[in-house]
Chain A
Amino acid sequence: MTIMANFRRRVPGPSAHTRLKVTVPEMLAGVVVLSLLAAVAFPALLAPYNPLAINPPDAFQGPSLEHWFGTDESGRDIYSRVIFGARPSLLIGAAATAIGVGLALALGSLAGLGGRVLDFGVGRLLEVLFALPGLLLALVFIAIAGPGVVTSTVAVGLSTAPGYARIIRGQIIQVRGSGMVEAAVVLGRGRAQVVRRHLLPNALSPVFVIATLGLGQAVVWAASLSFLGLGEPPPAAEWGAMLAAGRTYLTTAWWMTFFPGLFIVFTAAASTVLGRGLQRRTVR
C-alpha cells in the first residue's frame, strides 16, 4: 500500500486533460459510427437505388460514377445494398451483444453475489463454454437449433457470453473486496444497500465499455455465419450474405466481395476504438 502510494506520487499518470482529449482515431471512429447510424435510420436517403431491384442488363459492372461500388450478378447496385445492409447487419450484431451481455449479467452476478456453491457451479459452466471457443459454440448451437437469422443471432450471443460473464464476475469480486464496501459496512450499511448502492453500479459500469468493444466482434461473427450459409440467406442485403454471394464471382467481380467486407471492417474497428476510448475515460 505504502509502496504503491509512494510510487504513484512519483510517476503521475495521464492528467485528466489528456485522458479526456478526443484523439484523431476517436474522431474518425465517431464519424464512421454516425454514418452507419444514418444508414441504419434513413437508408433510402443515402442509397440511390432499390437494394433488391434486379436489372440483369447492368450485371457485373465494376465501380463507376453511376454505381460507386459496382453491381452484382443481377445488376443490383452494391453501394445501395451495402447502405441498406447496415440495418440488418448492425441489428443482428446489437441483438447478439445484448443477448450475450444479458446472459453474462445473470451468470456473472450469480457467481459474484450468490456465494461459494453458485460461484463454483457458474465457474464450471463457463469452463465448458470456453472449451468451445468463438464460432464453435455458435456452430454447435446451430447444429442443434437449426440455421436461420434468429438462431444465428442467439448463437453469436451465446458464444460471446462466457467472456463477458468472466469480466463481470471478476469486477463484482474486486469491488466486493474494496475499501469502499468496507467503509460502507463500518457506516452501518446493510448487505442489500451495499449491493444496490456500491457493488452493482461500480461492477456494471464497465459492462457498457465491454459491450461497445464486443459489438464489432459480434457483427463479424454474425456475418461469418451468414457467409457460411447459416444465417440470413443470400438475396437479402446483409453484409455477410452479400459476401457469400460474391464469393462465387471472386475472380470476375471482386467489388461484390470487397465493399461489403470493408464496411464490416469499418464497423469492427470503430467499435474497438470507441470502446477503448470509453475504457480510458472510465479507468480507475
Chain B
Amino acid sequence: MDWVAVVAFVVFGLAVGAYGTLIGAGGGFIVVPVLVLGLGWPHQQAVATSLFVVTANAASGSASYLRQKRVDIRTGLQFAAATIPGAVIGSYLVQLLSGRVFNIIFGIVLVIVSSYLMLRPGKPESHNASTARPEGLRGWGWTVRHIVDARGQAFDYGFPKGWGILLSFGVGFMSSILGIGGGIIHVPALVTLFDFPAHVATATSHFVLVFSTATGTIVQLFNGNVRLGEAISMSVGAVIGAQIGGELSHRVKGQWIVRGLAAALTLVGIRLIIG
C-alpha cells in the first residue's frame, strides 16, 4: 500500500462516510461491492474491512447526531440489545445456506422494497405522528417518545417496542449475512412500519450500529480478515465524511433521505443479484 493508495482510500472513505451518515447507514453497502467487484478482494476480507469502516463511520455520525439531540437513546439501547445476538446467530446460520441463492432472493427483496419507497405517494414528514396505542398485537409494547432536538424541533411519536426489538434482531441477522451495518434495512422499516420521524430513525439507527458493528469487527480482527491499512485509511476519511453528512442532514428533507436510501437499496439489490 503506497501513499497514492492511502490517499485514494481516504477520499473513498470520506464519500462513504458523508453519504452513509446522511441516509442513516454505515456505508457498507457501498464499500463491499467496490472492494469485491472493483478491486477483486476475497468476499471475507471485503466484509470484515467494511465492518471496520462502518464502525468508524457510525461512531462519528452518532457523535454528530447526539450533538443535534436527535438520537432516541433509550430506544437505541433496547434495539442494540436485540441487534447484537441477531448478528451473532446470523453469522453462524449463514454457513448453512447457499450464499448465491440467498443473495439472489435478498437482492430481489431489496429492489422491491426500494421501488416501493421510491414510488409511494409522497408523505410529508410527520413530527407529531399518532401516539394513540393501536389495539391488539399491533400495539405490543407501545411506547411514546417526546424528543426536542438542539434546534428546538419537537418530535412526538409512538411505536410498538416489542415489534421494534424483533425487527432489530432481524436487522442484526441480515447485516451479518450481508456484511453491511444494517441501517439500510432499519431506517426504512422504522419510518414506514412504525411511523418514526425520518430524522430520529436515521440518528437512532446510526447509534445502534456503533454497538453491533464494533462487535462484528472485533470478531473479524481475531479471525485475521481485516486488511488494517486499507481499513484505517478509509476510516480516517469516513470520520470526516460522517461529520459532513451529519451536518448536511439538517438541510435535506426527510423525504429525500428516504429516497436516497431507496436509491442505495437498489444498488445493493442489483449487486446481490448479479453476484
* A, B assembled together: no
User: Chain A residues in contact with chain B, CB under 8 A?
Assistant: none
User: Chain B residues in contact with chain A, CB under 8 A?
Assistant: none
